[in-house]
Amino acid sequence: MTGYEHWDGNVNEAVTEEWVAETTPFDRVKEVLLTTTSFQYAGAIAERAHVSEPSARKHLKTLADSSLAEIDDTGQGTRYKRSRETVAMSRIQELHSELTKEELIEGIRDMKERISTYQEKYGATDPDDLALELEADNGEGWAAISRWRGLKENLKVAQAALSLYDFDPDSERGSDASQFNSSRGALAGESENLSA
């Protein structure tokens, strides 16, 4: 006898039951919303969040009012998904938590060099220019377009993170970094506001 009892339960059901027991309906709706990348009706979100549809609708309206959700009125009802701003701020907060200002600057420099390499290699100013020139069966070229687009998107987020690194809206000193703890960005401790 090993001391372990045999369990015949369903792991997914057990995890869901624990999640429902340990979170509020609002927290579950918010958590589901933050993973919703395409518009969905409140009923679908309610099902995933294990709440009633009226409860989901009420919480989704609150989340939309606070700019965490985008809405789409279809004439047959309102659909919801996470807002682009929420995604951007979440990524900026991750960068502020994980990187020093110097590491962020170095990452930006590296991404710019990699983009320049693509421009030189393919003789195009951006990935869309390259897409117009490629043949449909050029697998390497299409993969490069995908990586290049990803680099451009990551560069935008990194540049936004750098511009907000020393940001303190409550300080009379503005962005004076001399009094700021530069080991992590100004928004590093704010991630609990966006994540569920």
Q: Considering the domain boundaries, does residue 3 fall inside one?
A: no
Residues 170 and 109 in one domain: yes
Residues 61 and 76 in one domain: yes
Q: Considering the domain boundaries, does residue 134 fall inside one?
A: yes
Residues 104 and 178 in one domain: yes
Residues 107 and 174 in one domain: yes
The pLDDT tens digits of the residues spanning 107-116 come to: 999 999 999 9
Residues 166 and 99 in one domain: yes
Residues 78 and 173 in one domain: no
Query: Given 50, 82, 114, which residue is the final one in a domain?
Result: 82
Count up the domains in the chain and report the number: 2
The pLDDT tens digits of the residues spanning 150-186 come to: 999 999 999 999 998 888 777 765 444 444 445 777 7
Query: Given 82, 115, 133, which residue is the final one in a domain?
Result: 82
Band of residue 6 on the pLDDT scale cut at 50, 70, 90: confident
The DSSP bridge partners found for residue 70 are 81
List the domain range (segments joined by +) for residue 143.
86-193
| 3 state DSSP class of 78 | strand
pLDDT of residue 128: 94
Q: Confirm whether pTM is higher than 0.85.
A: no
Residues 27 and 43 in one domain: yes
The DSSP bridge partners found for residue 73 are 78
Residue 75: give its domain's CATH number.
1.10.10.10
Structure tokens at 89: 């701020």
Residues 48 and 100 in one domain: no
Residues 74 and 90 in one domain: no
Q: Considering the domain boundaries, does residue 154 fall inside one?
A: yes
Query: Which are the contacts of 184, defined by CB distance < 8 A and separation ≥ 6?
Result: 96, 97, 99, 100
The pLDDT tens digits of the residues spanning 27-72 come to: 999 999 999 999 999 999 999 999 999 999 999 999 999 999 999 9
Tally of CB atoms within 10 A around 192: 8
Band of residue 190 on the pLDDT scale cut at 50, 70, 90: low
Query: Given 36, 53, 82, which residue is the final one in a domain?
Result: 82
